[in-house]
Amino acid sequence: MKILFIGDIVGRPGREILKEYLRRNRNFYDIVIVNGENASGGKGLTDKTLDELLYMGVDVITLGDHTWDRKEILKVIEHPSVVRPLNFPEDVPGKGFVEIKGLYVVNLLGRVFMKPIDCPFRSIGKFLEKINSKNVIVDFHAEATSEKVALGWYLDGRVVACFGTHTHIPTRDLRILPKGTCYITDVGMTGSYDSCIGVKKELILKHFLTGMPVKFEIAERDVRLYGVSLEVENEEIKNFKMIEFQESEI
């Protein structure tokens, strides 16, 4: 089974480069997973954006700390392709995992430097006890690299992959951990890199220099796609690599 996991899609530029990449490469993959919590204008997911992603060939859309930023999310949170963090309270709308073609895709939200939430370690631990399968990909949407690294070690040998998202900067530590789990601290965003994590850098600089609030606007230059491609057979990883696709290649 060949799987593509794409990091945080930021706004229209991120969606457009994803569309072009999938137009060229969708047939190579059995399952395409994207983090879409920034896909609609940089914050949240709308029904319109969901339809656009599905039309491109995306199979699963994971979320994160911006899950509830748009009221439109309530129109799509129960969609079978949408996954909100598993460690939200059980009685909130949506689900924390989906199963597709024998693969479980789980979304978790970190707690360090984030809003209070149930423990991601205990939440995924209980989940794995229930399903009795290693065929699991975890999207750990977290701020602190230490928390991401710790979860990777906690899950080593228990899932096929643990991929970090949220901080929007690709890290260079994609590897197979000793017990066989594919790990990276952050896949990186799919959006403008002539920016401050997807937002026009001039606005962010003004905010830091003055302390005044600014209206965030999505940057549109130097757009790149980042992700991880992996091949899984009998719960074991056969091949894996980092994917980078740039605006200049279009």
Which residues form the catalytic set?
A: 66
DSSP-derived secondary structure letter, 43: S
* Pairing verdict, β 2-6 and 31-35: parallel
DSSP structure class, residue 197 = T
CA dist., res. 245 & res. 162, Å (int): 22
Calpha distance 175→105 (Å, rounded)? 19
Q: Could you tell me whether strands 161-165 and 136-141 are parallel, antiparallel, or unpaired per DSSP bridges?
A: parallel
Q: How many other C-beta atoms are found inside a 10 Å radius of the C-beta of residue 212?
A: 7
